[in-house]
Amino acid sequence: MILPKHYLIIHHDDMDGAAAAAIAKFAIREAAIKNRWSVSIYLYAATYGNEPPYHLMDTNTAVYILDFSYGRQETIKIHSMVESLQVLDHHKTSEEALKGLPYAHFDMTKSGALLAYEYFWQYMERHASHCITRLNPEREGGANVKRIYELLDNYDLWQKKSDDEDNLQEYLGAIKQECRERSENFVNWLMNWLFNHIAKNVFNHEVGMVPLTVALTSGECYRAKTAANITRVASTAFDTFIDGGSEGDVPAVVVFSHLDISMLGQYLYQKSPYSVVMIMGMFEKECKISLRSNKDVEEDLKIDCSEIAKHYVGGGHKHAAGFITTPRKALEIAGLLKPAA
């Protein structure tokens, strides 16, 4: 039996999307090995505002779009081109755009990583049942993998229950940077790290991996250093008003930084609870803008980041969203340059 090619399309710079892609690739790979399928698995890094990779799609392709969504017309076009399509996402703006499409599944109560974990657990039950025994959360290896996905889920949904969520993010963020410097694929690294826990803890195989406990301890050290940097960077923030689209003119705290977005955003909106925090990651040809707002203020004073991001062709959640624009446009939004004539 020859299966179609599988493309995993993820949000490249998002830990949530990377974890979703890791469990998806593992499940498909294991199913192919067990059933002797001929499969090609591709990882494609998707970003908001860019055209889908239509050149990678044909009628022999199964497409999984994880923790990310394209626009409605683009998604319908993809579906018409391929053998099958499944969208797993949890972003407010995307759910509105894809409402009614039977192959688009949304759940605002779960992260993209946890959505993928649950979906591909069912996939493995059908096609790679041997993995279910290995991933059983009642066994140490499976428990560690499930714990990692729970920590990622808590962090992404801002439902942190301990310092471990921040510690894991800091550790993975450091590894991600190392992968960039070595021109390695972070998703492949994450997939191998997650499932080496199984080989180590279930089969007692000696594999080169950092245990979860060590990763969390390392992340705690990184976090202490990041916290000091956040205090320093936050001191450079300035107040302004930005065009928030349907949100109107919105009070904003603007800062230029490539630091941990969530930690910096939380630090700043706690100091300015009625403003949206706009973190601008400036690069040579583009600026990645992350938006954060306080969910603990009065209901009528809450700022919907997803509506602001949508105004600039981005998307996300009510209190955490983002978009990509040009460096000049970013400076115009922040009020540092006059709009071009």
Same domain, 272 and 213: no
Nearest C-alpha neighbor of 321 from the set 278, 267, 259, 258 = 278
Asked whether residue 244 is domain-assigned, the answer is yes
Tokens standing for 188?
A: 């492949």
| 8 Å CB contact between 97 and 89 | no
* 250 within a domain of the structure (yes/no): yes
Alpha carbon distances (Å) from 130 to 31, 36, 139, 167, 314: 9, 14, 14, 32, 40
**Spatial CA neighbour of 81 closest among 56, 59, 55:** 59
The per-residue pLDDT for range 268-316, each reduced to its tens digit, is 988 999 999 999 999 888 999 999 999 888 998 999 999 999 999 888 8
Strand 276-282 and strand 287-292: the pairing is antiparallel
Q: Looking at residue 202, what is its pLDDT?
A: 46
CB of 197 closer than 8 Å to CB of 145: yes
For residue 126, give both structure tokens: 């059908």
CA distance 224 to 338: 39
Same domain for 120 and 206, yes or no, is yes
What pLDDT is stored for residue 123 in this prediction?
Answer: 93
* Same domain flag for 182 and 109: yes
Look up residue 240 and give its amino acid. T
Backbone phi and psi for residue 50, each to the nearest 5 degrees, phi listed first: -95, 150
| pLDDT tens digits along 241-253 | 999 999 999 999 9
Residues 29 and 142 both lie in one domain: yes
The SS3 assignment for 289 reads strand
- Structural domain boundaries enclosing 280: 236-333
Min mean pLDDT across 78-87, 202-211, 282-291 is at 202-211
Residue 15 gets the label, from left (phi > 0), alpha (psi -120 to 50) or beta, of: alpha
Residues 194 and 95 in one domain: yes
Residues 54 and 135 in one domain: yes
The yes-or-no verdict on residue 76 having pLDDT over 50 is yes
> Is 63's pLDDT higher than 90?
yes
Q: What is the CATH number of the domain that holds 84?
A: 3.90.1640
Total domains in the chain come to 2
Residue 206: the pLDDT is: 52
